[in-house]
Structures are given as C-alpha cells and as structure tokens.
Structure 1
C-alpha cells in the first residue's frame, strides 16, 4: 500500500489513513493502491479544509542557494556557486578560494537564485521531490539549515499526527520557564486556537532571494512569490486571501520591506520573525575587520581580506551593519583590556550616524573598510571606493525607509511575533553588542628593542585621545583584529575585543529585542544559537504557537 500512515485516532479504532497531497498546484491529489480483499476495514481519506493560509519561509543571509548568470573562469553560466545542502560539502569548496575568486563568484549583478538544492525524497502531505522542489520552492533554500524545520512545520500543521502530538500539547501551557522572558507576559495557546487551525490548510513554501543584492530588491522577489502562492491556492474548492511569513535573520528585513514598503501588508496575515537583527549587528563590523569566528570562517572568510572582498560589494550584507537606530557609541577605542578597558573615543555619538562616522570614514585605522581590500580581483570597471560608498548609501536609504526619523521604532506588520535569543552565560550565545579596539600595551622600539623577547620592552601605556586619533601610524594590520601602530620610538598594539553581549552568538539582545515595540508579542528564548535557531525544539514550538495565534485572526472562508 502506498501513502499509508500508521495511526490511531482518539477513538482508538485502527484506521488506514490516507493524507491528501497538496502538490502546490492548487489541486488536491489522493493516491491509493489496491489491497487484498481480505482487508475490509475502512480506508479514511481526510479532506483538506477549503480555507488555505500558506506559510512562506524567508531565509537569512547566505541561506538562499545561488547560481551564476554568466560564466566565471571554469564555471559555466547557470552553475551553482553557493549551495548549502544537507550533506554539507560547501565549506571545503570555499576554504581554498582567495579574495579575488570570492569577489568574482559572489557578484550581486552576476548571480541569481538557484532552485536545485536538496529537498526530501517525498512528503506525506505534499508529494515527491519534484513537487517539493518545483511547487513549494524548497530547493531555493539551504537544506543544511532549513530542511529539518520545513519538514517539521509542514507535518505539525497539516497532518492529523501533527495536530494531535504537536499542536494539542501546546494548549494551556505556559512556556516561560522553558523559553525565557516574554514581553508583556505569556499568552497561552488555547483550545480554540487549535480547533480554528483545523479548519485551515497550511501549505509550507519557501522563498529564496539573492542575499548579495539590496534587501529592497529581495522584497520584490518575495512580493511576486506571495502573489503566486495566493493565486495557485485559489480554485473551485479552495480559497486563499493571505499568507503568513516566517523569517530567519536578514529574511526579517526582507519581509518587513515587502509588507511595509511595497504595499503587501493586506496580503499578509502576520509575520513571525526569528532572530532578526532589527537594528543591525555589531558582529558585522567585527567580521569585516577580523574575519569570521569558529568553523564559520571556512565559508565566510578567515580574515578581513576574504570577508571584505564580498562584503564591500554586496548591498545586502552591508544592510546587516548597525543602523542609525542601533545604540550609540558602539564602536569604542581605548586602552587596557577587558574589565580594565578605558574608553578614549566612541562613535557614533547620539546625534550622529554610523554611515558618516564609521562606514564612510576613509583611511582611518578604525573605520569599517580598508580601501585596498575592496577590489582584489582588479575588475576594470570597478570604481573602488566610489562603488563601495554607493553600496553604503543604499544601506543608509534602506535603513531610513524601514525606520524613518519620525518612527524610530521601525515599520512592522501590525500582526508581528518576534523570537530572539537572550543567552548570556554560554559563550556560544554571547556576541558583540559593542566592538572595542583595545590597546593591550606600549613597547619601546629603539636600538635596545629585543626581538627575542619584545615583552621586556613593555612600558606603561600613556596614550591620549588626540595622539591615538591623529599621531599613530599603522605599520601592520593582520586582518584578524590586530593592529600595530608607531609614533617615534614607541609602538602600540591594538586588538579587537571579545564578545561582550548576550544574544544568539550573532545578533545581540539589544537588536533582537528591538522589534518589541512593533510586535504583538516577543519571546526572548534562552539556549538559542543564530544559524541553527529553527532546529531548536523550543524555537520550533514558539514559532508554531505564533502561527496558531496569527491564524486565529483569519476568517474561515465558506
């Protein structure tokens, strides 16, 4: 027998249950093979609800698969260049690439979404791999990050098993102890929420986008996907008016732009934002100047040279930097380290902005971008700093549209739920809220300087703000957050600080929680790491809870 799910309903009668498949074309499909005539117990075919409320998952930066438009070197046009499949392998491909190769392969103007990523072989409520890839678009997003969650969510919302064993256990439970703090107190999932959801069909889709391009351009891709999904889910026996968006990280910025800047708010029933950098993330600055941390550096880049080659030329990436709504004075320069750090200078000031004060500062030892790292491939049409500055201006405009001066809390869909990490004790959950350049010591470099033991020449650090900003000359920047500077017969060594803030290992709590002002409900979850957030069981349940609450507001169509 095919399409058979062993199951017992609440009456404990043994049933052969057939799940109706929604292959994404707007038509329901039922397949059942002939069985032995001795099997005379009933075959139960569950009819899908006529009201359809699709879920569209919007991934984070680097979470969409990309392919080339035109050939680059030995890679032909259409060849995939960024694919995070469930079996991995991408790390090995990217580890050996130099900055010039990274720049050429990840060119925003020469890449597009690649739909051929890994998908499940089949799913009970959807169909085979072809239906999942071509009709649900799961092949557009990184299976290594998201397949587990998409399968879980589809099952939890659309199968009898999911309703009984995933949705119903949420009823009347207060998860504050397991999840963490909740703004305004926890609102329980009610029996009526689950009962209402059983009258709705929730097909789960994905929407990949070119994360190298501006998030505003990506919002246009999402806009078209929403229109398509609503269209295919309307038919003689099915009615669909709106969708729910579930986002990861930068996908939240894409969704907000689609909803609030492109006029799609009335086509969206609500949005669940997961670990969204609502106001940016200090780690973006850290990675540009010092490379990525941990095993991520194998793919993202182990030093400033590797990261800057892509970052400087990608408007989408630059839009993850702290915006004008991020806490002021987050970039700090000073002497001593750790708890003994003494701040001598900090930017941006409360009445300034990070674009002019940090990202467009040219030639300062502490500014974001080292100019010589912008165009390592030597592209003849590249204008160097001018092109980079144009990308920064694109980021500024995007940030200002999402959070105009008269509405600094930012623009959000009126039915918004946000989930963010608030871990603090575990090093995997800490991140950079502030970023500090710490002077760990001063050294004599006159004729008595001992190369075999330079620490013997260490002297008390005597550094003023004026000298630090105006008189020191960089002699070495190692691209990993270490800078040596000299003046006269003295050398000062600066290092980028370690993690100082709670969060999810990437987005600090100050940014993740910034959506509170624009959300109906925000959940601050402990034990959450950024990239695998949606593979965390608590995070999954919080997402399902939020979807059920949004769905409760949607009318069931006759």
Structure 2
C-alpha cells in the first residue's frame, strides 16, 4: 500500500466495491486461515445509480458489415467503419501504405464506399460476452472473441477507482483450474459500458475516463476528494461564477452542492449508433437501450430512475428524439 492510503478505525486499509460486467456490485475477498480473526470494514455501495450516457457525433461509432455485404466486397474482415483505425501515426501509415482499413478506403471506388455505408447492411459493433449461471465469464468463447475485436479500448486500460478498479485476486491465488474467471478487467468493464463502440483515441476516450474518475470520486472522508481540490483539481475550473463560462445567471457550484450528490454511483457509458440510418430509426434503438440499461440496474438491486445524457454533434439530435420516444412510450 502507498503512504497515501488512509487507515480505517481498525487499522486496516479500506477497500471498495467495484462494478462488474452487467452492472453488478462486486468485492474480492481473499480467504485466510480460521485462526486469522482480524476484522475488516467495508463500506457498502450506494443504493442509487445515475448512469451517464455519452452519444458521439456522426462517424464516431464503430460499424460492421453483414456477411453478405462483406462477401460481395471481398473484404477479409467485416469492418465497415472503425475511426480508431484511422487515428494516430499507425492509421496515417496504413493510409499512406494502402494497408488496413484506411488503406482500403483510400483505394476504394465510389461504388465500394457506397456499399460499405449501406444502412441496411451495417450495424454497430457491440461488445458481447459469455455468461455462466447468469454471471460474466471472462474466459468464455464469446467474451474472448469480443475482446479481440474491441482492442480500441486496450487490455492495458488503467484502472479508474473505485468502479473500474483491478478487483482481481493477486497472482498465485487466481481462479481455480477449469473455473470461469470471476472478475472482469477494467478494459472489459469499459467495453461492456460501450466505450469500445465509439472512437476511443483522442477526445472521446479522454472525456470518458476523466468523467468516470471525477464523478465517482467526489467526497473522501467527509471532504472533497483530492481530484476536485486545489489549483490542479476540477474545482479550479468548474466551481466558479457561471459568468466565467459565459452564463447569464445562476450561482457557482459549492462544496455543499457536491456533497449532496456524492452518495451515488455515476457509471459512465457510451452508446454508438448507426449514423448512416435515419435518425428516427436510430433514436428508437437508443431509447430501447436506455430503458434496458435502467431496467438492468434495477434488477441488480439499485435505485435507478434517471440518466444523464452527454452528447456531441449528431448525438444531441438523437438525445432529443430518444427522449420524445421514451415519453411517448409512457403515455
């Protein structure tokens, strides 16, 4: 443990629940001898969840081709659009060399490009996983296949405490041979949350990680968490008079305001969408996913009655339409 870790009143380092794939609250326990009677205190997770949902802009989602369209285009894989494949030095190199997805688009004819972006022959590249007795199986065939396809969120994704922490038993005390791995990695949780459905390299990925970090670390020991305090903390930029940001009215956010909303989990999700389809069609899909997400959290014992939508560009149009659709379903 580092010198910054605080001890609880029994002299033990406190640990926290994390979130698993599927939305479960999870806590790793390492068994000890019966003679070890040391007691550890664990803070139970909050009973309320307010998911934060990010909807990207146009062409910010990963799409894949149908098998029929892949065959017609004689493509070695079914990638229709992967913005991460076009980003960074690697993507630029592939375009220049005529390799990879970027190279394919560089050499493709107008007809081929039109066939790739056919709304009836494309779909979002979702993260699918294997279940074992209703729980996530990290080593199941469907999980492992999806992990290979969703490497835009790398396996080495840095844990983001508390929800996306490394909740595994230490090496030497790992899963029993032949048994499914019990806990998901931070990358697998991120992929389940939809982070790999959207462009992850650059601003989107940075925003998702920063939001996850700050919204789930608001208070520590009755005070603002260090990530919010000081000149380098978020408070330096957001706890100011709204006029600083061009606002015409309103009061600055205070420490008491933040403390009022701290007793809640704010898991950050992303939802990709098929941007070549009609927004009306896509909005129905997003509305169903939002309702399904809320239902899933309720089934796992949380109070979940609302979501926070964060959008970019075309995602804002979908948010408005999805809300109208959800309201219509309640009438």
Fold equivalence (TM over 0.5): yes
* 1:140 shift after superposition: 0.9
More strand by share: 1
Residue 239 of structure 2, aligned match among 162, 169, 173: 173
Unaligned runs of 5+ in 1: 267-558
| Alignment partners' CA distance in 1, 2:252 and 2:7 | 23
* 1:235 shift after superposition: 3.8
Alignment of 1:241 with 2:298, yes or no, is no
| Alignment partners' CA distance in 2, 1:249 and 1:166 | 29
8 A contact 1:259–1:265 mirrored in 2: no
Relative contact order (C-alpha < 8 Å, sep 6+): which is higher? 2
8 A contact 1:174–1:186 mirrored in 2: no
Alignment of 1:223 with 2:287, yes or no, is yes
Q: Which residue of 2 aligns with 1:81?
A: 80
- Decide whether aligned partners of structure 1 residues 83 and 161 sit closer, same or farther in structure 2, where only a CA change above 3 A counts: farther
Alignment of 1:205 with 2:269, yes or no, is yes
| Alignment partners' CA distance in 2, 1:35 and 1:62 | 51
Residue 119 of structure 1, aligned match among 134, 146, 153: 153
| Alignment partners' CA distance in 1, 2:24 and 2:201 | 30
Q: Specify the SS of the correspondent of 1:187.
A: coil
Q: Specify the SS of the correspondent of 1:205.
A: strand
* 1:23 shift after superposition: 1.6
Moved more, 87-96 or 138-147: 87-96
* 1:14 shift after superposition: 8.5
Q: Give per-residue Cα distances to partners, 1:506-544, cap 9 Å, x unaligned.
A: xxxxxxxxxxxxxxxxxxxxxxxxxxxxxxxxxxxxxxx
Q: Give per-residue Cα distances to partners, 1:370-428, cap 9 Å, x unaligned.
A: xxxxxxxxxxxxxxxxxxxxxxxxxxxxxxxxxxxxxxxxxxxxxxxxxxxxxxxxxxx
* 1:81 shift after superposition: 1.9
Q: Which residue of 2 aligns with 1:143?
A: 200
Q: Which residue of 1 aligns with 2:107?
A: 96
TM-score by length of 2: 0.66
* 1:194 shift after superposition: 1.1
8 A contact 1:82–1:90 mirrored in 2: no
| Alignment partners' CA distance in 2, 1:174 and 1:263 | 34
CA radius of gyration, larger in: 1
- Decide whether aligned partners of structure 1 residues 265 and 200 sit closer, same or farther in structure 2, where only a CA change above 3 A counts: farther
| Alignment partners' CA distance in 1, 2:215 and 2:112 | 43
Alignment of 1:59 with 2:56, yes or no, is yes
Q: Give per-residue Cα distances to partners, 1:453-474, cap 9 Å, x unaligned.
A: xxxxxxxxxxxxxxxxxxxxxx
Q: How does 1:87-486 map to 2 (within 5 A)?
A: 88=88, 89-90=90-91, 92=95, 93=102, 94-115=105-126, 116-117=149-150, 118-121=152-155, 122=157, 123=159, 124=161, 125-126=163-164, 127-128=184-185, 129-133=187-191, 135-145=192-202, 146-159=204-217, 164-167=225-228, 170=235, 173-174=239-240, 180-182=245-247, 184-235=248-299, 237-263=301-327
| Alignment partners' CA distance in 1, 2:79 and 2:239 | 45
8 A contact 1:7–1:15 mirrored in 2: no
* 1:206 shift after superposition: 1.1
| Alignment partners' CA distance in 2, 1:261 and 1:194 | 32
Q: Specify the SS of the correspondent of 1:132.
A: helix
* 1:260 shift after superposition: 2.3
| CA RMSD across the alignment | 3.6
Q: Which residue of 2 aligns with 1:23?
A: 20
8 A contact 2:193–2:270 mirrored in 1: yes
- Decide whether aligned partners of structure 1 residues 120 and 203 sit closer, same or farther in structure 2, where only a CA change above 3 A counts: farther
| Alignment partners' CA distance in 2, 1:236 and 1:104 | 42
Q: How does 1:493-532 map to 2 (within 5 A)?
A: none
| Alignment partners' CA distance in 1, 2:112 and 2:17 | 48
